[in-house]
Chain A
Amino acid sequence: QVQLQESGPGLVKPSQTLSLTCTVSGGSISSGSYYWSWIRQPAGKGLEWIGRIYTSGSTSYNPSLKSRVTISIDTSKNQFSLKLTSVTAADTAVYYCASQLGYFDYWGQGALVTVSS
């Protein structure tokens, strides 16, 4: 069974860059037809899709975040990563990584990132 685990700083200063990594275990990130996505959820609110990457490196982003987001993949480490630039308090959320074969079937446990000085 595929497992995903987010890692990265839990506190980021305003205007800086949020960086998270998702490590995939139990399967190769290069196998199959999976997309690898990032989704976030502010406390007490709903889910927002940030973007995704395919094993080829092809990416798609939510238009509302596109100008600030970069998702990359490192197949040698079985990891994919998220960078979100120029963060503000509005970017404070639990960030999930998830695998998508059509829909999100496997999720990480989530990583809380707080934007604060």
Chain B
Amino acid sequence: EIVLTQSPATLSLSPGERATLSCRASQSISNYLAWYQQKPGQAPRLLFYDASNRATGIPARFSGSGSGTDFTLTISSLEPEDFAVYYCQQRTNWPPMITFGPGTKVDIK
């Protein structure tokens, strides 16, 4: 089973600052990685698919990059609504399996 590790566990930043979140896979997953944002009491929202493709309606201040085992989600300038938990997720086609990373919480400093 492919294990995803996210770092840091918590990122304390101020509005306007740049956030850099990391997701590392235990083996190569090509670009089969997604990022989600989850706010308290809400379902996760898809931000990026296939590592760097922005989902519909996601602001340009968010960017995704990486391939193989190392991936990054960057928020160029944090807005108040960006403080949330971010999860990465990988998918394998055979055998079909989906795993999520443990999450990174971005909170207000």
Residues of A within 8 A of B (CB): 37, 46-49, 52, 60, 62-63, 96, 98, 102-105, 107-110
Residues of B within 8 A of A (CB): 1, 34, 36, 42-46, 49-50, 55, 87, 89, 91, 95-103
Closest to B90 in A: A103
Distance in angstroms between the alpha carbons of A109 and B89 in the assembled complex: 19
Give the contacting residue for A46; candidates B34, B50, B55, B101; CB below 8 A.
Answer: B101
B97 touches A62 (CB 8 A): yes
What's the nearest-Cβ distance from chain A to residue B73, in Å?
14
B46 touches A46 (CB 8 A): no
What's the nearest-Cβ distance from chain A to residue B43, in Å?
4
Distance in angstroms between the alpha carbons of A62 and B98 in the assembled complex: 8
B100 touches A48 (CB 8 A): yes
A52 touches B96 (CB 8 A): yes
What's the nearest-Cβ distance from chain A to residue B78, in Å?
22
Query: Could you show 20 A-B contacts with beta carbons less than 8 Å apart?
Result: A37-B98, A46-B103, A47-B44, A47-B89, A47-B100, A49-B97, A49-B99, A52-B96, A60-B95, A60-B96, A63-B1, A63-B97, A102-B91, A103-B89, A104-B44, A104-B46, A104-B89, A105-B55, A107-B45, A109-B43
